């Protein structure tokens, strides 16, 4: 496969054309001038690109993937995954034209890494750069302001989890996005995994049956890993909203919601514990969710995995009326999915965890490039996730037996 990069006539961007070769040699790719202008996330008409004529009639022509047109993107904030989101966006063939962070150190680091202008406020960054799309990250209490900045300018954006420290802080900005029809996409990597595709396929063909129980665990390393980084604020509940539950639970909650759909979901149990490190943020958390018709979701998050060669302890379990699907690790640390039915067990290898983030970001950026008006999941879905996250916190904080045992910091006021 060959990727050809060249500037268009305006000279301010480059077009990326993915060339997929036929089984045998075809004629060289005939290039045409490719002018692509952008307006509010919707591509205007552009010239068609002819595939190369095949050398022999029996050889299919090369295929051109126009999804890889370069877009101009801006990044709002280094933390938590902002830097990584920008790197992935660049790997997907798009340009980072501006970065923003309120703190001088992270701001300069972003400017150096992406070789572009840097700004201290979201509004200044977006007004100066006029991007085609925005990557929204940031401290949990600041992310809703970044969302509002995008909504006020009608700019499509990708939003990092956990979206905010609580639903009440994000809801007004989310409502503004809906009111103005602003495109939004959540970068939730479980959505881009083969595991989720497998379970959805089994549900569609009837081999899974009805979902009865969902269980996920996302247990990463200790909170001290944040201390020497620009993300040290994760250990301050007034900014982060809490500890591992505030930072990691969105992944598990989202996957549960993906498979129960629009059915009402209630938080029925919650535990937040700081017994391992005694910090003001929890290092272990469990939330129990339940639909009106009896589907149960158990979501576990943690900062209790020992630092070492692996990133953490991550697993899934989907129990249906006809099959059970599990995902865990083999001895080499590779993720393996098992499908258990009355006919036996089958095994399926899963790509590295980085595949999920890259895939969901690719889908979102393609949707913006194609001018689509909506995406799933979007910022309204983020509010739903946060409402359940908040409900579990409320249950856990209401009873001394379900939080502590050491004093926990209070979240910031809205």
Q: Quick one: tokens of 354? A: 């980085």
| Domain-located, residue 236 | yes
* pLDDT at residue 250, rounded to an integer: 98
* pLDDT at residue 41, rounded to an integer: 38
| Domain-located, residue 65 | no
Compute how many other C-beta atoms are within 10 angstroms of the C-beta atom of residue 348: 14
Nearest to residue 260, comparing CAs of 208, 298, 321, 214? 214
* pLDDT at residue 33, rounded to an integer: 29
Using CA atoms of 349, 344, 330, 352 in order, give the dihedral in degrees to the nearest 10.
20
Query: How many residues comprise the chain?
Result: 414
* pLDDT at residue 68, rounded to an integer: 53
| Domain-located, residue 123 | no
125 with 76: CB under 8 angstroms? yes
| Domain-located, residue 310 | yes
Query: Could you tell me the maximum CA-CA distance found in the chain, to the nearest angstrom?
Result: 76
Q: Measured between alpha carbons, how far is 303 from 277 in angstroms, rounded to an integer?
A: 9
| Domain-located, residue 170 | no
SS3 for 281-331 is: CCCEEEEEEEECCCCEEEEEEECCCCCCCCCEEEEEEEEECCCEEEEEECC
Identify the helix (H) or strand (E) that includes residue 368.
helix 354-369
**What is the value of pTM for the model shown?**
0.84
* pLDDT at residue 351, rounded to an integer: 86
Domains held by the chain: number: 1
| Domain-located, residue 210 | yes
| Domain-located, residue 11 | no
* pLDDT at residue 297, rounded to an integer: 99
Pairing of the two strands 312-320 and 324-329: antiparallel
Q: What is the mean pLDDT of each run of 10 residues along the chain (414 residues)?
A: 32 33 31 32 33 35 48 96 97 98 97 98 98 98 99 99 98 99 98 96 98 98 94 97 98 99 98 98 99 98 89 94 96 92 95 89 97 97 99 98 97 92
Q: List Cα–Cα distances, 92 to 87, 113, 249, 367, in angstroms.
A: 9, 16, 27, 14
Residue 321's CATH number: 3.30.360.10
Q: Measured between alpha carbons, how far is 249 from 267 in angstroms, rounded to an integer?
A: 13
Tell me the residue range of the domain where 243 lies.
189-352+379-404
| Domain-located, residue 177 | no
Nearest to residue 361, comparing CAs of 97, 161, 125, 107? 161
């Amino acid at each position: 496969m060959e990727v050809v990069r060249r500037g268009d006539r305006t000279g301010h961007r480059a077009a990326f054309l993915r060339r997929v070769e036929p089984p045998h040699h075809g004629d060289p790719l005939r290039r045409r001038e490719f002018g692509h202008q952008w307006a509010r996330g919707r591509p205007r008409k552009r010239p068609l690109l002819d595939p190369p004529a095949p050398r022999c009639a029996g050889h299919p022509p090369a295929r051109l993937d126009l999804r890889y047109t370069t877009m101009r993107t801006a990044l709002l904030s280094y933390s938590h995954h902002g830097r990584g989101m920008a790197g992935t966006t660049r790997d997907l063939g798009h340009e980072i034209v501006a970065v923003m962070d309120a703190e001088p150190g992270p701001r300069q680091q972003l400017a150096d890494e992406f070789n572009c202008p840097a700004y201290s406020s979201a509004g200044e960054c977006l007004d100066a750069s006029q991007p085609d799309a925005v990557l929204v990250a940031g401290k949990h209490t600041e992310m809703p302001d970044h969302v509002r900045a995008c909504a006020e300018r009608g700019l499509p954006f990708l939003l990092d989890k956990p979206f905010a420290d609580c639903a009440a802080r994000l809801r007004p900005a989310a409502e503004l996005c809906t009111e103005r029809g602003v495109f939004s996409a959540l970068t939730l990597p479980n959505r881009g995994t083969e595991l989720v595709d497998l379970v959805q396929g089994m549900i569609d063909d009837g081999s899974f049956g009805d979902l009865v129980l969902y269980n996920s665990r996302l247990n990463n390393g200790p909170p001290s890993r944040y201390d020497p980084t620009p993300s040290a604020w994760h250990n301050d509940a007034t900014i982060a909203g809490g500890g591992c539950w505030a930072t990691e639970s969105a992944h598990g909650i989202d996957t549960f919601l993906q498979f129960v759909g629009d059915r009402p979901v209630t938080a029925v149990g919650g535990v937040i514990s700081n017994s391992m490190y005694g910090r003001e943020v929890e290092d272990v958390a469990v939330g129990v969710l339940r639909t009106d018709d009896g589907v149960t979701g158990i979501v576990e998050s943690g900062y209790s995995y020992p630092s070492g060669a692996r990133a953490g302890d991550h697993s899934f379990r989907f129990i249906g009326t006809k099959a059970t699907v599990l995902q865990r690790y083999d001895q080499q640390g590779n993720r393996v999915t098992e499908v258990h039915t009355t006919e036996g067990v089958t095994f399926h290898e899963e790509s590295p965890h980085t595949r999920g983030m890259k895939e969901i970001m690719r889908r979102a950026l393609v949707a913006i490039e194609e001018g689509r008006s909506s995406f799933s999941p979007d910022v309204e879905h983020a509010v739903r996730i946060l409402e359940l996250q908040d409900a579990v916190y409320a249950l856990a904080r209401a009873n001394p037996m379900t939080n502590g045992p050491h004093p926990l910091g209070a979240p910031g006021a809205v």
